């Protein structure tokens, strides 16, 4: 996919002096509910009203959306408020119905992005459309799969593209519903800086009390907008109640967010940053030097194990190291999540080195 500045044209067409805001209920439940929320958001900074029409559930038996009738409610909300309307599509049939009802913004959900065949069917159905199409990251932390979804749509002649960062599933117990894995989104930004990037703090957190925190973190990383689930009665929502906020709460969140500048061209700023970045470069070089020396020791340990016919993996020793490093990291202001990731990567590299010695 070419890195073209035209990708941002649809976002710039909004002529906003603030990040793009997409908001509305997780699910369209009734016509009255849709219209009431839409009118509550009409005079706010919300540019696109969202509502789930089809809801992919992990297990059968749950509420799976109202279906086509909900699209008519969105049409009515658009006529009454003037806001653009958006919804998730998971199949070619969804796309056809959304186009027939003049839905302005379509997005491909995380489960669908993980299925290239489904994305291709969507791309074929939307071929040449002038609708805005957004691609959520896949369930698993796979940047290539995420970009692959965008590329399939781009190859179908869809120009108004963007991505939604909604976090990644994990078996680990964390404070997030779906862990952000910020580095993946940052890598995407580095590869395609002109591809609009939108944060979905509702699905990342699963907790309305954390919406502001995650949205601010995204804006600090120069994201282009946010998609936040908003309901007039969140606690009684038919789906994902815990992560939805009221329209008034949303307006307060937007008001409290700090919008950062992309740069500061003053001499003082440039001077300070040059010195600090030079310091970072030295420390990074030292880190690599230390890691190289650590792997040399791991090689020596591997040779001793091989000579003694002892297995490479020693779980007791590994757990001892991990527990100790988490405590030491905490003293130095490092999160447990970061320490775990870092030492798991180091441990895997060490095992790889020792496997080579065993196979030599």
Single residue among 256, 278, 305 that ends a domain in this structure: 256
Tell me the three state secondary structure of residue 267: helix
189 and 298 together in one domain: no
Encoded tokens for 93: 């049939």
Characterize 37-59 residue by residue with b for buried, 16 or more Cβ atoms within 10 angstroms of its Cβ, and e for exposed: bbebbeebbbbbbbbbbbbeeee
Whether 53 is in a domain gets the answer yes
226 and 294 together in one domain: no
Whether 262 is in a domain gets the answer no
Q: Report how many domains make up the chain.
A: 2
CATH code at position 287: 1.20.59.10
| pLDDT tens-digit readout, 184-234 | 999 999 999 999 999 999 999 999 999 999 999 999 999 999 999 999 999
- CA–CA gap between residue 16 and residue 279 (Å, rounded): 37
Would the CA dihedral through 55, 58, 60, 62 be positive or negative? negative
| pLDDT tens-digit readout, 293-344 | 999 999 999 999 999 999 999 999 999 999 999 999 999 999 988 999 899 9
Range(s) of the domain holding residue 353: 267-359
The answer to whether 16 and 46 are in contact (CB under 8 A) is no
66 and 103 together in one domain: yes
15 and 46 together in one domain: yes
pTM for the whole structure: 0.85
Cβ count near 159 (within 10 Å): 16
151 and 223 together in one domain: yes
| pLDDT tens-digit readout, 157-194 | 999 999 999 999 988 788 999 999 999 999 999 999 99
Single residue among 213, 229, 256 that ends a domain in this structure: 256
Q: Which of these, 200, 238, 226, lies nearest to 70 by C-alpha position? A: 238
């Amino acid at each position: 996919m070419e890195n073209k500045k035209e990708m941002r044209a649809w976002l710039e067409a909004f002529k906003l002096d603030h990040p793009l805001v997409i908001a509305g209920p997780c699910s369209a439940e009734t016509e009255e509910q849709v219209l009431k929320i839409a009118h509550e958001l009409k005079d706010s900074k919300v540019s696109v009203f969202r509502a789930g029409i089809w809801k992919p559930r992990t297990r059968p038996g749950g509420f799976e959306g109202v279906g086509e009738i909900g699209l008519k409610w969105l049409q009515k909300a658009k006529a009454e408020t003037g806001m653009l309307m958006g919804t998730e599509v998971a199949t070619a049939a969804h796309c056809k119905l959304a186009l027939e009802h003049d839905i302005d913004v379509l997005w491909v959900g995380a489960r669908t992005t993980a299925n290239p065949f489904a994305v291709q069917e969507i791309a074929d159905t939307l071929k040449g459309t002038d609708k805005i199409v957004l691609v959520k990251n896949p369930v698993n932390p796979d940047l290539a799969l995420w970009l692959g979804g965008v590329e399939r749509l781009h190859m179908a002649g869809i120009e108004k593209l963007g991505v939604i960062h909604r976090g990644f599933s994990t078996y680990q117990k964390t404070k997030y519903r779906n862990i952000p894995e910020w580095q993946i989104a940052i890598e995407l930004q580095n590869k395609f800086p002109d591809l609009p990037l939108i944060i979905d703090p509702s699905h990342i957190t699963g907790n309305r009390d954390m919406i502001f925190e995650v949205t601010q973190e995204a804006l600090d990383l120069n994201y282009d907008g946010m998609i936040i689930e908003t309901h007039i009665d969140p606690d009684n929502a038919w789906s994902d109640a815990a992560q939805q906020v009221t329209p008034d709460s949303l307006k307060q969140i937007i008001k409290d967010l700090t919008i950062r500048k992309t740069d500061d061209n003053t001499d003082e700023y440039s001077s300070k940053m040059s010195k600090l970045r030079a310091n970072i470069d030295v420390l990074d070089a030292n880190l690599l030097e230390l890691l190289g020396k650590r792997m040399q020791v791991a090689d020596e340990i591997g040779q001793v194990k091989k000579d003694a016919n002892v297995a490479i993996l020693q779980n007791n020793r590994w757990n001892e190291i991990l527990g100790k490093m988490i405590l030491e990291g905490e003293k130095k202001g490092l999160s447990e999540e970061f320490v775990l990731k870092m030492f798991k990567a180091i441990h895997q590299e060490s095992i790889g080195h020792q496997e080579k010695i065993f196979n030599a």
